[in-house]
Structure 1
Amino acid sequence: MLDESSWELQKERPMALVLAIIEKTHEKTPISISNYMKKLINIDSWIGRYSLLLSENPDEIAKIINDLDLGVLPRKDLVKKVLDTISKIE
């Protein structure tokens, strides 16, 4: 079992990032999400770091999408934080 901080770092933050991109772009394919993440790589926060890691791994993005489809969701405030951050770059 993951402790709370491990859960957030390993699962919740990547899920929040993917879910925010899905909400922003209305695209749900791993490739389109990966391509959008490439725009976020230079953000100086965990959002940029996770984008860098995930943008080169569409299989991991697909697993996250599957988890989201199964109802495993990140906290709404974390998704909002990602949406607010990525909205500033456009």
Structure 2
Amino acid sequence: MAKTASALHILVKEEKQAVALLAQLEKGANFQQLAKKHSTCPSGRNGGDLGEFRKGQMVPAFDKVVFTCPLLQPVGPVKTSFGYHIIKVLYRS
């Protein structure tokens, strides 16, 4: 079972906005460009890149999705205390 992962995410306040961003991604929009434009997380400046992190390091709802969703496919919205996330897992190891 994977113990670490690397992911990109877009964090927004409203579920409606997260759904709209996911729809754009499904039509081929660039994840990192959307993160730079819309994400409220400081990682947005880096295209939403969270780097590599260990299982259990992120809030539970986020962590669960990262370690179970398909790789390289945007998923969401995932609700946490921070807002709504669109997540794209780059790899797990």
Q: TM-score, normalised by structure 2?
A: 0.32
Identify, as 1 or 2, the structure richer in strand.
Answer: 2
Select the structure with the greater relative contact order (CA < 8 A; seq sep ≥ 6). Answer: 2
- Which one has the bigger helix percentage? 1
